[in-house]
């Protein structure tokens, strides 16, 4: 029996919300195979990454056991062929549902979403954030994010405990937007840091070339 599509409200606009299975099917990615069909990525992403970086805000709402700082130098980026102004950072790993994972310390990774995912969502402006200390298993949902085109959960491809949240996103949410994710998904738009409990799970992820190959089959 097919899953029912649910809808959420955003500034008075109804937008569809999908489960992980529905989301992958909507993108044309079958969960049991390697088939990839056409993604709805026909126009440019919002904008490229910034040329400079600053220290992230760890916030005052929590007392993280890890402190991630956004590097001053921007990450190495390559353009996505056929998608003007869309980029992929080459210094991290990826999932086929557009989540990036970057190893930033021994056993600690930072997660966020990619610029193609930003385009799929359509100007993301609302999201939920988890708490520090939450333990996650691979494929668990740790957040939901909403744009003007669709809404979906964000799933972790690795197991472990959350050791830091990007609390600057909470400040932006109070203003009714999440511009760091919309405009700077690979730097200031990072979402959580996880202390890995099963580091070998990183071997299951795509490198930047693999992610670009996935996108090339979808444009």
Report the C-alpha gap between 129 and 114 in whole angstroms. 17
Question: Sheet containing 141-146: which strands, arranged edge to edge?
Answer: 6-10, 13-18, 151-155, 141-146, 126-127
Q: According to the model, what pLDDT value does residue 113 have? A: 98
In a domain, 193, yes or no: yes
Q: In this structure, how many other beta carbons lie within 10 angstroms of the beta carbon of residue 75?
A: 18
Cα–Cα distance for residue pair 107/197, rounded to 1 Å = 8
* Mean pLDDT computed over 89-118: 97
Mean pLDDT score, 94-122: 96
The pLDDT tens digits of the residues spanning 86-100 come to 899 999 999 999 999
Query: Among positive and negative, which fits the CA dihedral 172, 116, 14, 20?
Result: negative
pLDDT at 112 > cutoff 70: yes
Using 50, 70 and 90 to split pLDDT, how confident is the model at 19?
A: low
Q: How many distinct structural domains can be found in the chain?
A: 1
The pLDDT, as a whole number, for residue 84 is 76
Whether 143 is covered by a domain: the verdict is yes
SS3 113: strand
- Per-residue model confidence as pLDDT tens digits over 154-213: 999 999 999 999 999 999 999 889 999 999 999 999 999 999 999 999 999 999 999 999
**H or E element, residue 3:** none
Sequence-separated (6 or more) residues with CB below 8 Å from residue 151: 8, 10, 15, 16, 17, 18, 121, 144, 145
Residue positions counted in the chain: 219
Classify residue 142: in a domain, yes or no: yes
The secondary structure of residue 134, as a DSSP letter, is -
Task: For the chain, report the end-to-end CA distance as a whole number of angstroms.
Answer: 30
The answer as to whether 200 is a domain residue is yes
pLDDT at residue 21 in the model? 52
Better-predicted residue by pLDDT, 51 or 80: 80
Per-residue model confidence (pLDDT) at position 218: 79
pLDDT number for residue 18:
54
Question: What percentage of residues in the chain have a pLDDT greater than 70?
Answer: 70
Contacting residues for 200 by C-beta, under 8 A, at least 6 apart: none
Query: Residue 24 pLDDT > 80, yes or no?
Result: no
Q: Is residue 19 within 8 Å of 3, Cβ to Cβ?
A: yes
State yes or no: pLDDT of 145 exceeds 90: yes
Dihedral sign (CA 90, 91, 94, 98): negative
Mean pLDDT of the chain: 80
In the predicted structure, residue 53 carries a pLDDT above the cut 80: no
Nearest CA to 133 out of 193, 191, 189 is that of 193
Contact 99, 157 (CB under 8 A): yes
pLDDT level of residue 10 (50, 70, 90 thresholds): very low
Lowest mean pLDDT among 44-53, 59-68, 80-89, 172-181: 44-53
Domain harbouring 32, CATH code: 2.40.50.100
Q: In angstroms, rounded to a whole number, what is the distance separating the alpha carbons of residues 159 and 149?
A: 29
Q: What does the pLDDT read at residue 166? A: 97
Q: Using a cut of 0.85, tell me whether the model's pTM lies above it.
A: no
The domain in which residue 23 lies consists of: 6-216
* Residue 1 covered by a domain: no
DSSP string, 11-44: TTEEEEEE-HHHHHHHTTB-TTS--B---S--S-
């Amino acid at each position: 029996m097919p899953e029912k599509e649910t809808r959420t409200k955003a500034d008075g606009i109804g937008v569809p919300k999908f489960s992980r299975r529905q989301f992958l099917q909507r993108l044309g990615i079958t969960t049991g195979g390697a088939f990839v069909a056409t993604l709805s990525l026909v126009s440019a992403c919002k904008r490229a990454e910034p040329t400079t970086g600053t220290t992230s805000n760890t916030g005052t709402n929590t007392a993280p056991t890890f402190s991630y700082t956004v590097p001053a130098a921007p990450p190495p980026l390559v353009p996505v062929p056929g998608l003007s102004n869309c980029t992929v950072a080459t210094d991290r790993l990826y999932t086929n549902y557009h989540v990036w994972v970057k190893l930033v310390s021994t056993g600690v990774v930072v997660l966020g979403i990619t610029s193609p995912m930003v385009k799929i969502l359509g100007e993301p402006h609302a999201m939920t954030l988890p708490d520090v200390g939450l333990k996650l298993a691979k494929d668990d949902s740790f957040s939901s994010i909403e744009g003007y085109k669709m809404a979906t959960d964000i799933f972790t491809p690795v197991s472990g405990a959350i050791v830091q949240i990007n609390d600057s996103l909470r400040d932006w949410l109070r203003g009714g937007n999440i511009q760091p994710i919309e405009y700077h998904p690979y730097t200031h738009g990072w979402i959580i840091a996880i202390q890995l409990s099963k580091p070998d799970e990183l071997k299951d992820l795509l490198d930047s070339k693999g992610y670009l190959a996935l996108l090339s089959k979808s444009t």
